[in-house]
Amino acid sequence: MKTKKSNKTYTSKIFEIILKSWWVILFIMVCSLGYDLGIKKRKVAITQMKTKYNNLLAQKAFAISKKEDLTLKLSSQSDPSWVEQVLMKELGVVPENKIKVHFKN
Long-range own/partner contacts, residues 42-46 (CB < 8 A, 24 or more apart): none
Whether residue 90 is predicted with pLDDT greater than 60 in this model: the reply is yes
pTM above 0.85, yes or no: no
The confidence score (pLDDT) of residue 1 equals 47
Percentage of the chain beyond pLDDT 90 is 42
Whether 2 has a pLDDT exceeding 70, the answer reads: no
DSSP assignment of 40-84: HHHHHHHHHHHHHHHHHHHHHHHHHHHHHHHHHHHHHTT-HHHHH
pLDDT tens, position by position, 45-86: 999 999 999 999 999 999 999 999 999 888 877 888 888 888
Mean pLDDT of 33-54: 98
Beta-carbon count within 10 A of 88 CB: 14
CA distances from 20 to 10, 13, 15, 17 (A): 15, 10, 9, 5
